[in-house]
A and B are shown apart, each in its own frame.
Chain A
Amino acid sequence: MLQGKGMPIWGAAAIVIVTLIGAWALIPQMEGPGKSASTVAVVKDAFPNDEFPTTYKRLASKPTIIQNATILTGTDKEIAEASIVMQDGKIIAVGTDLTVPDGAMIIDGKGKFVTPGVIDIHSHLGVYPSPSEPATADGNEATNPVTANVRAENSVWPQDPGFSRALAGGVTTLEILPGSANLIGGRSVVLKNVAARTVQAMKFPDAPYGLKMACGENPKRVYGDKGGPSTWMGDVAGYRAAFAKADAYRHKWRHYWKAKHAGKDADPPDRDLGLETLALVLDKKIAVQMHCYRADQMATMIDVSKEFGFRIAAFHHATEAYKVADLLRENNICAVMWADWWGFKMEAYDAVPAGLAMVDAAGACAMIHSDDPIGIQRLNQEVAKAMAAGRRIGLKITRAHAVAWMTRNPAKALGILDKVGTLEKGKMADVVMWSGDPFSVYSHAEKVFIDGALLYDRDDPRLSPRSDFELGQLPGRAHTGGAGQ
């Protein structure tokens, strides 16, 4: 391959320095953003879950109306000659004959299309950034097959030029995951695609964490010669052992909390960051985002999730999901798929172009993803290919429906559908205006709004973020990066 894939398995892993903040204190679970850990006072019967709180603040924006556009709402509706009104970061109205708010910025959407902001549920931007060098490769803590203690948010480099390119492709929300070297790779983080100096300032408020786990070939390839697992059955034993430990850990803490409440003098158990994350998974505060290609392996993982009582939100890279779409539907698990990637390794050999559409047609939740800093820039094209492949085998798929594969369904799998993913009143105004049908190769995302603020405009170079890395490169040239590169 001339270009690296978005799923490298670097042997040399970064050293993660875990700093325990001061003396041991059990931090209560935060109700929302903005509260700091200094409010710790009472011991709550819950594991801490907000140690790196979001500092994201939506940017100021004028009320905005896009008029005369074709709107794909993400709720299976296509509305012709329609308008959308955004104010104070929210969607106020979608439909025809809408009143223009006072002092609103009016955008003529004639010939244009409007969709919800694109959501990529599987990205390694920031953790495997550009340039791709050993010094920047922070996505796989490949030192142990179970590293539930690490978090993607602690690796994200906010200056990755890839974020701006993804914005130019209409991506407003992304889930950044650890790589797939490990059985349990660590926590994912959901980001708003806003340019920021810190990852905290990108963190999507109130979005739950995910836990990255990986089926199949990668863990056994990485650990086969390093003490294992070296087989798929070894992989499965590894997941089960980890959750059995987490279950015992959770029991210990519950026991302690009970004693404490009863007024008994009890010592808290030793804190274990990995088991704490897994306990949160068992508590269903964190859902599993599971890299899993093969149909039979998905079925095995469903049984493991039932044994321990955790929730798998989605199987990622689910190239064979079309073989077990009924099983996924029954278990309410989404399939995260590519349009046409296949054959780069054995477990990707059975991917088919109509796979995503077939899963969707079977009534399961299907969606597109990139796993790639190039692919993330044109998820609309990837959906278009998947839609067309489905139509070619006779499935009836409207573009109003297919748009959900890059908006509503990833929002659902990430647990943020109440906030984004569709153009509905009251949701965050994450909106893309396309130059034409988003499912044409010739269309571009022209204007991208995040929480109502226009953060990318193809026609205005001033509204094109440029990372620090790109500043001053190619001295004397006019084109040195930015979203429109």
Chain B
Amino acid sequence: MKPATLIFTAAVLCAFAISPALAQGDAPLAAPTGDVTATQLPPTTPPIIIRHGKIYSLGAAGTLDDGDIRIDNGKITAVGKNLSVPAGATVIDAKGKPVTPGLMASYTQLGIQEIEMVNETNDSEGDSDINTAAFDVADAINPNSTLIPIARIAGVTRSLIAPEPNNGVFFGQAAVIHLGDSNDLLVKRHAGVFATIGPLGADTQRGTRPDTWSLFRETLNDAREYWAQRAGYHKPGGSRDQRSKRIDLEALGPVIRGEEPLIIYANRASDIRQIITYCTANKLKLVILGAQEGWMAATELAKADVPVIVDARLNLPNSFSEIGATLQNAARMDAAGVRVMFMPASDDPAQYARTITQVAGNAVANGMPWAHALAAITKVPAEVWGIGDSYGTLDPGKDADIVVWDGDPLEVTSAPTAVLIKGKNIPLVSRQTALQERYKNLSDKTMPFAYR
């Protein structure tokens, strides 16, 4: 199978290279309200002014009913009322509509997965059947993925991209990307190492909880031992005899030092409590992914300041680890002081990245304050994933990731009218809008659709 796969891969890559649909980033598509195109901006670009917006800055400026934002060279330089419009500036009139920071979807496979079930396009799951802490999604980012424009025209400008669980207890490293028009989407490598405690469901081969825990502890113990005598790794009596691979032990260094978050997929309240106990005792930086019974361990999560990534729509006992799943989960954890972040619809969070607003909206519909839900897809993940200095609020000095909406951003009928990523005004087009355009009029059959 392997040689055939490689040939097939090469063929497809060639096809992609000449595909007009994928070259859209270079197309001379006019931005909706300005004269800036998405093509290579010179080092110094004219300023952009967003005017008359209902600005939810989530920062020092608070919320402004009729506010302006100035952008210079990709950065926000001013947020306030009645900013002066410099000569040559591109003006975006928000017409009183909401303006928010670009959204951040925590836990997607954007850029590392095109079609989930087409293996050749899916770089999100490690092969190893034991441990793959070293599996690093940052090695696989494809800036030409069609998923990037599809997500960003819905307002998603950042994501924590993540491996998907395999049979290992540790299943890889996350990265932070931006979704801008660029060949380099990587914002931050080593944004977290993923692990899982407890069964994933019917198809897991990981074994029991005690199996998972013993492997989990042993691996982290190995890592501590390895890092304590790293130089002696290959010497007799050195850490060479450990079960874990050297690259995995390397990857776990920042985790055992408490520098990089350990992101653990767990849903059952008892698992969550036990994980908190272990990580607190060992001074690890912890984030819980899933957390469907998180509301039952909310006090412990809040006390240990453990943030969570949840899909707020989930309310079924999909497994015996999710018996307590409820639509009120996010609201209850939030009320208890837990830092809540949202992931998009969890069946395929990369393809469904645009559902991040619907997920947040459903949390609000079930009791979470609106402002907290917006923070859960902007400011909170910015802080948790360590990019709060450059993203997450509309404050001067930060990257200009800004979305102008045609309505309440958390409402299912709303959509962006302008999306800026790192100061670039992104054309609101994608492979999907191109398909819509092609088939909008079925009655004109003068030439085949392929000529449209």
A interface residue numbers (CB < 8 A to B): 1-5, 130-134, 137, 161-162, 165, 322-323, 325-326, 340-346, 348-355, 358, 362, 372-374, 377-378, 381, 384-385, 387-388, 392-393, 439-444, 469-470, 473-474, 477, 479-481, 485
Known: A132-B201, A133-B319, A378-B313. A3 touches B436 (CB 8 A): no
Residues of chain B touching chain A, judged by Cβ–Cβ distance below 8 Å, are 114-118, 147, 164-165, 200-202, 265, 289-290, 296, 311, 313-320, 322-328, 345-352, 354-355, 358, 361-362, 364-365, 410-415, 432-433, 435-436, 439-440, 442-443, 449
Q: List 10 A-B contacts (CB under 8 A).
A: A2-B346, A165-B316, A344-B348, A346-B117, A354-B436, A358-B439, A388-B412, A388-B415, A441-B412, A477-B296
B315 contact set on A, CB distance < 8 A: 165, 374, 377, 485
Distance of A444 Cα from B432 Cα, bound (Å)? 30
Check if B324 sits within 8 Å of A477, measured CB to CB: yes
Chain B CB count within 10 A is highest, among A5, A374, A443, A474, for: A374
A477 to B327, CA, bound (A): 16
CA distance A344 to B347 in the complex (A): 9
Please tell me if the beta carbons of B202 and A132 are within 8 angstroms of each other in the complex.
yes
- The closest CB in chain B to the CB of A136 belongs to B202
In the complex, A131→B290 CA distance in Å?
A: 16
B161 to chain A, nearest CB (A): 14
CB distance from B425 to the nearest CB of A (A): 18
Q: Write the nearest CB–CB distance from A481 to chain B, whole angstroms.
A: 8
* A354 nearest CB neighbor, chain B only: B436
Q: How far is the CA of A480 from the CA of B296 in the complex (A)?
A: 12
How far apart are the CA atoms of A343 and B346 in the complex, in Å? 14
A345 to B165, CA, bound (A): 19
A325 touching B442, Cβ below 8 Å: yes
Q: Taking A441-B361, A441-B365 as contacts, is the C-beta distance between A322 and B439 under 8 angstroms?
A: yes
Q: A130 is contacted by which of B200, B316, B414 (Cβ under 8 Å)?
A: B316
> A340 and B352: CB pair below 8 A?
yes
CB distance from A71 to the nearest CB of B (A): 20
The answer to whether A485 and B327 touch (CB under 8 A), given A3-B311, A387-B413, is yes
In the complex, chain A residues whose CB is within 8 Å of the CB of B439: 322-323, 358
CB < 8 Å: which of A133, A340, A346, A384 contacts B355? A340
Taking A343-B351, A372-B347, A440-B411 as contacts, is the C-beta distance between A132 and B318 under 8 angstroms? yes
CA distance A388 to B412 in the complex (A): 8
CA–CA, A469 and B436, complex, Å: 45
Inter-chain CA distance A2–B311, complex, in Å, is 10
Contact A474 B316 (CB under 8 A): no
Rounded to whole angstroms, the CA-CA distance of A439 and B433 in the bound complex is 23
Known: A161-B317, A325-B442, A345-B115. A442 touches B347 (CB 8 A): no
CA distance A340 to B352 in the complex (A): 7
Q: Which residues of B contact A441 (CB under 8 A)?
A: 358, 361-362, 364-365, 410-412
* Contact B413–A326 (Cβ < 8 Å): no
* Besides A4-B347, A342-B432, 15 new A-B residue pairs in contact (Cβ under 8 A), listed by A number: A1-B116, A1-B347, A1-B348, A2-B290, A131-B322, A162-B316, A325-B442, A340-B352, A378-B313, A385-B412, A439-B413, A442-B365, A474-B324, A480-B323, A485-B326
Distance (whole angstroms) from the CB of B329 to the closest CB of chain A:
10
CB distance from B413 to the nearest CB of A (A): 4
Chain A residue with Cβ nearest B124: A1
Q: CB distance A1 to B346 under 8 Å?
A: yes
CB–CB A345/B118 < 8 A: yes
Nearest residue, chain B, Cβ from A162: B316
Cβ 8 A contact of A343, one of B114, B289, B324 = B114
List the B residue with the shortest CB-CB distance to A329. B442
* Chain A hits for B200, CB < 8 A: 2
Tell me how far the C-beta of A166 lies from the nearest C-beta in chain B, rounded to whole angstroms: 10
Of B327, B350, B412, B449, the residue contacting A440 (CB under 8 A) is: B412
Q: Given the known A-B contacts A137-B202, A340-B354, A440-B412, are A378 and B362 also in contact in the complex, defined by CB atoms under 8 Å?
A: yes
User: Across the interface, which residues of B come within 8 angstroms of A480, CB to CB?
Assistant: 323-324
CA distance A344 to B443 in the complex (A): 30
In the bound complex, do residue A479 and residue B324 qualify as a contact, i.e. CB atoms below 8 Å apart?
yes
Contacts of B346 in A (CB 8 A): 1-3
**A345-B202 in contact (CB<8A):** no
**Residues of the A chain whose Cβ atoms lie less than 8 Å from the Cβ of B318:** 3-4, 130-132
Q: A2-B165, A2-B346, A378-B313 are in contact. Are A343 and B116 (CB under 8 A)?
A: yes
Nearest-Cβ distance from residue B377 to partner chain A, whole angstroms = 14
Is A474 in contact with B201, judged by CB distance below 8 angstroms?
Answer: no
Of B313, B314, B413, which one neighbours A384 at CB under 8 angstroms?
B413
A472 to chain B, nearest CB (A): 11
User: Which residues of B are found within 8 Å of A165, using beta-carbon distances?
Assistant: 315-316
Tell me if A485 and B319 are in contact (CB < 8 A).
Answer: no
- If A130-B317, A350-B435, A353-B432 touch, whether A384 touches B412 (CB-CB below 8 Å) is yes
**Residue from B315, B316, B324 with most neighbouring chain A CB atoms (10 Å):** B316
Whole-angstrom distance between the alpha carbons of A133 and B347 in the complex? 17
Minimum CB–CB distance from A471 to chain B (whole Å) comes to 12
B413 touches A385 (CB 8 A): yes
Beta-carbon contact of B413 and A131 below 8 Å: no
B413 contacts across to A, CB distance below 8 A: 384-385, 387-388, 439-440
Q: In chain B, what residue has the closest Cβ to A392?
A: B415
- For B113, the closest partner residue in chain A by CB is A343
Q: Report the minimum CB–CB distance from A102 to chain B (whole Å).
A: 38
Taking a contact as CB atoms under 8 Å apart, the answer to whether A373 and B316 are in contact is yes
Task: Known contacts A477-B324, A479-B326, A485-B325; decide if A131 and B442 are in contact (CB<8 Å).
Answer: no
Instruction: Report the bound CA distance from A477 to B323 in whole Å.
Output: 12
Chain A residues whose C-beta falls within 8 Å of the C-beta of B365 in the assembled complex = 441-444
B325 / chain A contacts, CB cutoff of 8 Å: 485
Query: Which residues of chain A are within 8 angstroms of B436 by Cβ–Cβ distance?
Result: 322, 352-355, 358, 393
Q: Are A3 and B347 in contact (CB under 8 A)?
A: yes
Chain B residues positioned under 8 Å from A358 (CB to CB): 436, 439-440
Q: Are A131 and B361 in contact (CB under 8 A)?
A: no
Q: Report the minimal beta-carbon distance from B290 to chain A, rounded to whole angstroms.
A: 7
- Please tell me if the beta carbons of A345 and B358 are within 8 angstroms of each other in the complex: no
Whole-angstrom CA separation of A161 from B411 in the bound complex: 28
B115 touches A346 (CB 8 A): yes
Are B410 and A473 interface neighbours, CB within 8 A? no
For the complex formed, measure the closest distance between the CB of B446 and the CB atoms of chain A, giving whole angstroms. 15
From A385, which residue of chain B is reached at the shortest CB distance? Answer: B412
Contacts of B361 in A (CB 8 A): 441-442
6 closest A-B pairs (Cβ-Cβ)? A441-B361, A343-B351, A388-B413, A345-B117, A130-B316, A2-B346
Query: Which residues of A have CB within 8 Å of B349?
Result: 2
Which residue on chain B has the smallest CB distance to residue A361?
A: B440
CA distance A400 to B411 in the complex (A): 19
Q: What are the residues of chain B within 8 A of A444 when measuring CB–CB?
A: 365
The interface residues of chain A lying within 8 Å CB-to-CB of B317 are: 130-131, 161, 469-470, 473, 481
Most chain B beta-carbon neighbours within 10 Å: one of A352, A477, A479, A481 = A352
In the bound complex, residues from chain A placing their C-beta under 8 Å from that of B435 are: 350, 352
